[in-house]
Amino acid sequence: MTAFSLSRRAALLGAALFLAACGGRGELGAQRGELGDFRLGHTIVVADEATRGPASRPAEPEEWEEALTGAIERQFGRYDGGSFYHIAVALQGYVLAIPGIPLVAAPRSFAIIGVTVWDDAAGTKINETPHRIVVFESLSGETMLGSGLTQSAEQQMENLSRNAARMIERWMASNPDWFAPRPDASVEGDEGLAEEALEADTLAEG
């Protein structure tokens, strides 16, 4: 084995260890001021019609429903407003990566979901057509080498569900007119929350 090969392997190992140290469940970040007086009501997740993609590990609909429900309730449970909104999610398709060749043909896990938000007070859907989101697993010391080699199907679902909840929150925050303003909200306060949330997103993505 050449010195170059050894050096390259050492660099890759170092990168993997660094990413592993930076990985984990992560912080939820600041509440988004754009969601106003939001409080999570019901979380409805259905996965019984999801399509399993090629070269994917199998997973039961109930497993997906539990993982997504838990992640959404964790992400949105920190909002303590006085106006209730419900989040409905339909899992449309997924791939839970199987073992591949690290750094060459290591497949990546992903999920496709459709999201609808309901206004409890009005008793109506806010968005008539479900918003489609494609969710990929986070890069970490484990997934860098292929999550099929390093994670169980349950861990892959947890990773994807956590990212799905964050992406749902980000999408909802891009539509601030959907949500009732907080009674005690100030323009300065909302701007501060929005800046903190943006900074948290930037750090998480980095």
Taking the mean position of all CA atoms in its chain, how far away is CA 71? 8
Task: Please give the average per-residue pLDDT across 107-123, as a whole number.
Answer: 94
pLDDT at 28: 79
Residues 158 and 160: their CA atoms lie apart, in Å, by 6
Contact status, residue 156 vs residue 137, Cβ threshold 8 Å: yes
Using CB atoms within 10 Å of the CB of residue 183, give its burial: 0 to 12 exposed, 13 to 18 middle, 19+ buried.
exposed
- Note the pLDDT tens digit of each residue in 6-16: 343 433 333 33
Q: Can you list the domains of the chain with their CATH numbers? A: 29-181 (3.30.160)
Could you give the CA distance from residue 200 to residue 195 in angstroms, rounded to a whole number?
Answer: 9
Q: Taking the chain, what is the end-to-end CA distance rounded to the nearest angstrom? A: 34
Residues 53 and 48: their CA atoms lie apart, in Å, by 14
Candidate from 38-42, 53-57, 90-94, 191-195 with smallest mean pLDDT? 191-195
Q: Which residue has better confidence, 138 or 24?
A: 138
This prediction has a pTM of 0.74
Q: Which residue has the tokens 């008793």?
A: 123
Q: Read out DSSP for 27-96? A: ---SPPGGGTTEEEEEEEEE-TTPEEPTTB----HHHHHHHHHHHHHHHHTT---SEEEEEEEEEEEEE-
Rounded CA-CA distance 119/178 in Å is 9
Mean pLDDT of the residues in the chain: 79
pLDDT digits (tens, 9 = 90+) for 138-162: 865 444 444 545 688 999 999 999 9
Residue pLDDT, tens place only, 157-175: 999 999 999 999 999 999 9
